[in-house]
Structure 1
Amino acid sequence: MDQQTFKPSVGRPHSTPLTDESVGSGSSGKRTRDEGDNSSPTSVGVGDERVARAEGIKKAKSRLKGKAPSSEAFKELETFNTRLQLFGDSMNVSNEAQMKRLEIQERKEARKQQKIELEQHRIHWEQLARLE
C-alpha cells in the first residue's frame, strides 16, 4: 500500500495514477499532434472519413454582409490578370515590331552586299575591256 501513494498532478488528468516510482512525461498537459497525423485544422475526423469543419460565426456574418475578403481578392486577381495580359500583348506587339525592323535591316544589308558585288563585276569587265 505504501508504494501506491498517489501524487496530485498538474494539467490534464492521466488515465493511470502516478505512483512514487513512476515518472511523468513532463508535458504540460496540452494536446499535441502525432507526427503521422496529417489532418488539417479545418477538418474533423469521423471514423475513417474527414468532414469539413463548419463555417465560423464571424466568417458567416462577413459573407452574408458581402464583406467576404475572398471576393475582393478575386477581383484584385482578375484586374491583375487583365493587366498582365495587356502587358503581355503589348510585349508581343513590341517584339513583332522589333522583328520587322530586323528583317528590314537584313534586307538593306543584303542590297548593300549585292551593290558591292555588282561594282566588283563592273570593275572586272572594265579591266577585261581594256585588255582587249
Structure 2
Amino acid sequence: MFAQKLKALRLKRGLTQAQLGIRLGVSASAVGMYEQGRREPDSSILIRMCEVFEVDANYLLCGTRNEDGAVLRLEDMITQMRERLLGQQALMFHGKPIDAEGAEKIIAALELGAQLAAEYNQNRRGEKGG
C-alpha cells in the first residue's frame, strides 16, 4: 500500500523519481525501490515525504486517512474501488477477464461484507454492554 501511494503522489505532482529523490536527499533508484516495495524509507525520509507531499504519515503508512488527514470511511474506499475497477481495461482475476458487470458484482460483495461486519460489530457491542 505504501509503495502504490508514494508512486501515485509522485505522479500526481508531476515529479520524476530523480526529482523526488533530490527533494528527499536520496537517489532516484532509492525512490524506485520505495515504489516497488523493495525498500522502506527511514523515519527522516518518511518525514520529508510527508512534507513534500503535504500529507499525514497515516495516509502514507496505514491507509486510514486520506491526503488531507481526514479519516477514511469504508463507503468512500468502496466508491474509489468501484471507479478504479470500472476504469480498468482488460481487468483480470486469476487469469480470467472481468467485465463491468463482474466488477459491479465484486463491489456488491464488498458492500455486503462491510454491512455484515458492521452488524456483527454492533451485535458484539450489545453483548458486551448487556
TM-based fold match above 0.5: no
Larger radius of gyration: 1
Kindly indicate which of the two structures has a greater share of residues assigned to helix: 2
